[in-house]
Chain A
Amino acid sequence: MRALVYRGPYRVEVREKDMPRIEHHNDAVVKVEMGAICGSDLHLYHGMMPDTRVGTTFGHEFIGTVHEVGPSVRNLKVGDRVMVPFNVFCGTCFFCARGLYSNCHNVNPNATAVGGMYGYSHTTGGYDGGQAEYVRVPFADAGPSLIPDWISDETAVLLTDALPTGYFGAQLADIVEGDTVVVLGAGPVGLFAARSAWLMGAGRVIVVDHLEHRLEKARTFAFAETYNFAEHDDIVVLLKRVTDHLGADRVIDAVGAEADGNLLMHVTSAKLKLQGGSPVALNWAIDAVRKGGTVSVVGAYGPMFSAVKFGDAMNKGLTLRMNQCPVKRQWPRLLEHLRAGYFDPTEIVTHRIPLEHLPEGYHIMSAKLDGCIKPLVTVGD
């Protein structure tokens, strides 16, 4: 089969690779129809994620058709069209039994601090991802769901990570009616978080980024006030000024470890890998939120420590809430909202890239060329 393969930092290529096999009785093999590149795939592409082995196939956002099922699979059959949450999870361990699917204890031997993910290095279990023609899906009875026939394939792909993660970020922020909500980062997750903040009753939604085309989308898709931090000397002071010097009630960090802030942070984190990621966005969140407020973190960080301004968080009496999104928990409500027609998530899709052209896709995404927000990946014909 054809698959995207990691060769080293900034080097990926599409080549022939062995077909995935059923390795556990509850595995399925899914023939991928559509996938996506995620902002967090850039941590892998840049070589930032520890234990990213040469040969690994990336991709944790994908939908497809069940191609083969293991002997104990009951809920799926060959030919079913499924959307697969980016989390690999068992459904019945201590954590899954309590709804923390992203924190499953039964799927990742390599680390206890992080659950299982498709195509996200051995630190999340060593599973190959869906930027390929076929992919192994463990615990097929727990993870995937049939794609409802009234949603488009593109919507289904966005339901595997970006949309539920943004929505989850807004839930973590504990928004109550009338709150001022700041979202750092206008990538797909930030845009969906901003849009979701209104569902939860926000009074103001403010989005911060440095890419003008993304801020434009934040205004049109998420009805947000926007600020370009590259045009301001000190974004924290600006955010204080527009919130009457109290700070925002809630701040959502939808950036994570790839934050571009200053050169020192970039060198120590992205280049020298001395930190779990550049904490620029998280520190802005801590500074810009009001005392007693909530910081919600859905941006991805690596397993190493980061230089976070913890004293400020303590002195301000903040609530810090964060997790990888337990995707399957969000689906029923999100499908209700989509059915009600509140918004169309595919409005943020900017590129549709064939599997064979994925190396260009990664470069576009990494160098932020061509007004890129969300690139989808088409597989097969």
Chain B
Amino acid sequence: MPYPADKPSRAPSSEELRARIPGWGADLDPADRPSVPRERFDPRATGAWWDLPEQQPETYPRERSIEHARLTPVFGTTYPPRGVSGAIRRLAFRRYSEARAAHWLLLLAADRVDVVESSVRELTSGRVSNPVATGLRSEVTHGGPDPRTTARRVDHNHRWMDPIVTAGPLVAAGVGAVLVGRRLLRRP
């Protein structure tokens, strides 16, 4: 049979739906929805009373996207870049725009280096945090019948990789520390 002009009606009528589903059609008018029209000029809609916001003081050279003309009036000040990972982050921001894959790949690389650096820092400061994936206790407390074996799910096929992702950087840190230690010991 050829395809006809009308949509074959499988849906219940609007009257049926209105009777069955609380609130059905409360936002029926497409032009009367909170984000419609998408852009509506109203700079006083939020409670903001300033024309231009004041500038938050810059207490350290705050890294920023080179696509910005200036440092934004507010910004997060947590965890300024530091160490090798910090140098990689600064390079990513100084050199590459958000349009460049190098920008994001450098930041991701810095994230991995950051994990290794902070693990080393903790080991040397004597404050060691839980080295393995945290929260594993919930396997016992909230495991119930193991949903990995009782249900059909599509996330089983890659679960074997998770421990590698978790422990990989730490193993790398350990190996690195041993190598550096050996070199230091060998020095006369």
Instruction: Give A residues with C-beta under 8 Å from B.
Output: 7-13, 15, 23-27, 46-47, 50-57, 72, 74-75, 88-92, 96-101, 105-113, 116, 122-123, 125-128, 138-139, 141-143, 168, 171-172, 174-178, 180, 196, 198-201, 203-204, 210-212, 223, 228-231, 242, 244-246, 260-261, 263, 266-267, 270-271, 273, 302-305, 326, 328-330, 332-333, 337, 340-343, 358-364, 367-371
* Closest Cβ neighbor of A333 among chain B residues: B34
Residues of A within 8 A of B129 (CB): 7, 11, 13, 15
CB pair B17–A198 under 8 Å, yes or no, is yes
Q: How far is the CB of B18 from chain A (nearest CB, A)?
A: 9
Q: Which of A12, A171, A200 contacts B28 (CB 8 A)?
A: A200
Taking the complex as formed, is B181 at the interface, i.e. its CB lies under 8 A from any CB of chain A?
no
Taking the complex as formed, is B124 at the interface, i.e. its CB lies under 8 A from any CB of chain A?
no
Once the chains are docked, how many angstroms separate the CA of A128 from the CA of B76?
A: 7
Given contacts A11-B166, A125-B76, contact A360 B111 (CB under 8 A): no
Once the chains are docked, how many angstroms separate the CA of A360 from the CA of B117?
A: 25
Once the chains are docked, how many angstroms separate the CA of A371 from the CA of B10?
A: 32
Q: Which of B26, B42, B134, B157 contacts A337 (CB 8 A)?
A: B26
Q: Which of B27, B48, B67, B76 contacts A112 (CB 8 A)?
A: B67
Instruction: Fill in one digit per residue for B87-114: 1 if any A CB lies within 8 Å of its CB, else 0.
Output: 0010001000010010011011011101
Q: Which of A244, A304, A341, A364 contacts B7 (CB 8 A)?
A: A244
Once the chains are docked, how many angstroms separate the CA of A175 from the CA of B22?
A: 18
Given contacts A180-B11, A201-B24, A363-B134, contact A106 B53 (CB under 8 A): yes
Residues of B within 8 A of A180 (CB): 10-11
CB pair B134–A359 under 8 Å, yes or no, is yes
CB pair B25–A201 under 8 Å, yes or no, is yes
Number of A-B residue pairs with CB-CB distance less than 8 Å in the complex they form? 321
Given contacts A196-B27, A330-B34, 10 further A-B contacts (CB under 8 A): A53-B114, A105-B72, A126-B79, A127-B76, A201-B27, A203-B17, A212-B151, A246-B7, A266-B157, A329-B34
Residues of B within 8 A of A105 (CB): 72
Q: Which of A50, A178, A333 contacts B107 (CB 8 A)?
A: A50
Q: Which of B93, B98, B110 contacts A113 (CB 8 A)?
A: B98
Q: How far is the CB of B141 from chain A (nearest CB, A)?
A: 7
Q: Which of B23, B24, B56, B98 contacts A111 (CB 8 A)?
A: B98
CB pair B39–A98 under 8 Å, yes or no, is yes
Query: Can you give 11 A-B contacts (C-beta < 8 A)?
Result: A7-B129, A9-B165, A23-B74, A23-B77, A50-B108, A56-B78, A97-B41, A112-B98, A178-B14, A246-B3, A333-B33
Interface core residue of B36, B41, B46, B93 (most chain A CB under 10 Å)? B46
Instruction: Fill in one digit per residue for B164-175: 1 if any A CB lies within 8 Å of its CB, else 0.
Output: 011001100000
Q: How far is the CB of A113 from chain B (nearest CB, A)?
A: 6
Taking the complex as formed, is B187 at the interface, i.e. its CB lies under 8 A from any CB of chain A?
no
Taking the complex as formed, is B52 at the interface, i.e. its CB lies under 8 A from any CB of chain A?
yes
Q: Which of A15, A198, A245, A368 contacts B24 (CB 8 A)?
A: A198
* Closest Cβ neighbor of B57 among chain A residues: A23
CB pair A342–B23 under 8 Å, yes or no, is yes
CB pair B78–A201 under 8 Å, yes or no, is no
